[in-house]
Amino acid sequence: MKEPFLSALPIIEDIQNAGFEAYFVGGSVRDHLLGKEIHDVDIATSATPAELKGIFSKTVDVGIEHGTIIVIIQGQGFEVTTYRTEAEYKDYRRPETVAFVRNLTEDLKRRDFTMNAIAMDNNGELVDPFEGQKALKEQLIETVGSADERFQEDALRLMRAVRFVSQLGFRLEHQTERAIATHACLLKHIAVERVMVEMVKLLDGPNKSEAFNILFTSGLYKYLPSLFNEKKVIDATMKYQISSLNEDDMWLLALYLADADDHAEELKSWKLPSKKIKSLVRAIGFLNRRHLHEWTSFELFSAGRETAVLVETVYQTIQHGSLMESVTLINNRFDQLPIKSRQELAVTGNDLLSWSDVTAGPWMKELLEKIIQAVLDNDVSNDKEEIRRWVKVCGLL
Ligand code: ATP
Ligand code: MG
C-alpha cells in the first residue's frame, strides 16, 4: 500500500482493534485502482461518531449530523464517516437526516456511481458488490441501482456524472445517460454552491469537450446558473480546442462568449469566490484590448504575468492560434520588463513629494504612471537619482 493510504492505515487498524469495521472508500479507492494521484482519503466505518470519539483522542466535528468526523493522527486529518443510508430524500436534495447502519454494503449502495462504491480494507482487499471494478475497466459511469431513482434522490449527481466524464474521459452507461436527459430539470433544486464545486472540476478536466457535449445534448446546461446556460456559449465552446485549458481560462472564455453587460453579476450568480470574480473581471478588460492590438509593455506590466498568460491563452484559443508559442512569447516578454510590479519601481509617492513644494494630490499618481511608462520604455533606468533627474529635465515637476 502507498501514500496517502499508508498514513491513514493506523486509523483503520485502531477502529478494527476496538471491534468495528473500517474501509477506505470513494474517490481515493477509485483513483488508486486507476493508477491516478490520490488527493483525499475517505474512510467508512461501522462505528458511530460517538464510538469513534472514544477511540481517538483528537477529532474534529465537521459534519457530525451526517456521520462525518475528522480524526487527526500525527498532525494529519482524515475524514471518517459512519456507514449510513440516506433513506429519505426531500426536494431532490441530499437528505437532512441520515440513518447509521452497521453494514458496509448498505453504505456502498447509497453511493452515486459503481466506480465510487468500492471499499478497500487494510490489506488492500476490495469489497465491490456493485461491480465497480468492471465499470472502471470498461471506463463506464453507471449509477448504483436505478439511474432514474438515483438522480431523483439527489440531482447533484447529474452534474457529478458529467464532471467525471470531463475528469476521467469515461463514457456514460446508456441508462445513466438517458436518465440525465430525463431528469435534467431537477438540477434547479440544488444549491448553487454545490453545483459550482462540480462545475469547477468539470472545467478543469481534460475531457471537457465531451462533457460539454453531454451538457448540451442532455439539456442539462439550461439549468446551470449563468454563462454556461446559454446555447451560444456551449455551442461556441465546443468549437474551440479547450482540452488543455484550466478552470480560469474557461470562465474567461465563457465571459467573452456570453458578451454580457455585467461580468461580475454573471460570475456572482455562480457564487464564485470574490477574489476570483475580481481577477476575471480585470482579465476580460485585457482580453478586449488584446483583440484590438498586441500587448504593450505597460499592459503586460499592469496585467501581471498570471493575468497576461491567462488572457493570452484565451485569446489564442479564440483565434485558433498556437497556444504554446504565444504563451512562451508572453513569458519571455514579461521576463524582459525592467520592472515587473509597482513595488519594484525605485521611487515612491513620498519621493515625489520630497522633490517638490506641491502638496499631495492626483498629480502624484499621474506622474508615477509616466515614470513607469518611461522605465518600461527604457527612456530612463529604474534608479532613484536618474528618475529624479529625468523628471526635472522633462519639466514634469
Ligand atoms: P474527488 O476525487 O473529486 O474527491 P470523489 O468521488 O471522492 O471525487 P467526493 O465528493 O469526495 O467525490 O465524495 C466521496 C464519495 O462519496 C464518492 O466517491 C461517492 O462514493 C460518495 N458521494 C459523494 N457525493 C455523492 C452524492 N451526491 N450521492 C451519492 N454518493 C456520493
Ligand atoms: Mg473525494
ipTM of the prediction: 0.99
Mutate to test the pocket of ligand 1, among 112, 152, 170 (most ligand atoms within 8 A of CB): 112
pLDDT of residue 1: 84
pLDDT of residue 96: 64
Give yes or no for a contact between 6 and 41, defined as CB atoms under 8 angstroms apart.
no
Rounded CA separation 58/12 (Å): 15
Q: Which of 178, 174, 104, 107 is nearest to 138 (CA)?
A: 174
Question: What lines the ligand 1 site, CB under 6 Å?
Answer: 26-27, 40, 42, 111-112, 116-117, 154, 156-157, 160, 201
Q: Which of 70, 63, 82, 74 is nearest to 23 (CA)?
A: 82
Rounded CA separation 204/193 (Å): 17
Sorted by where each starts, the structural domains of the chain and their CATH numbers stand as 1-131 (3.30.460.10), 139-224 (1.10.110.30), 225-336 (1.20.58.560), 342-393 (1.10.246.80)
Closest CA to ligand 1's atom 5: 27
Rounded CA separation 247/250 (Å): 5
163 is in an annotated binding site: yes
**Local structure of 54: helix, strand or coil:** helix
Residue 68's CB: how many other CB atoms inside 10 A?
20
List beta partners, residue 25.
Answer: 42
Give yes or no for a contact between 223 and 229, defined as CB atoms under 8 angstroms apart.
yes
Cell of 304: 501581471
Please count the residues of the chain: 397
61 is in an annotated binding site: no
Closest CA to ligand 1's atom 15: 26
pLDDT of residue 87: 63
The pLDDT averaged over each successive group of 10 residues in the chain (397 residues) is: 92 97 97 94 96 96 89 95 80 72 94 98 97 98 97 96 98 98 97 98 97 97 96 94 97 94 94 97 97 96 97 97 94 97 95 92 94 96 96 91
383 is in an annotated binding site: no
Residues 6+ apart with CB under 8 A from 318: 240, 253, 256
pLDDT of residue 260: 85
pLDDT of residue 98: 77
The ligand placed nearest to the CA atom of residue 94 is 1
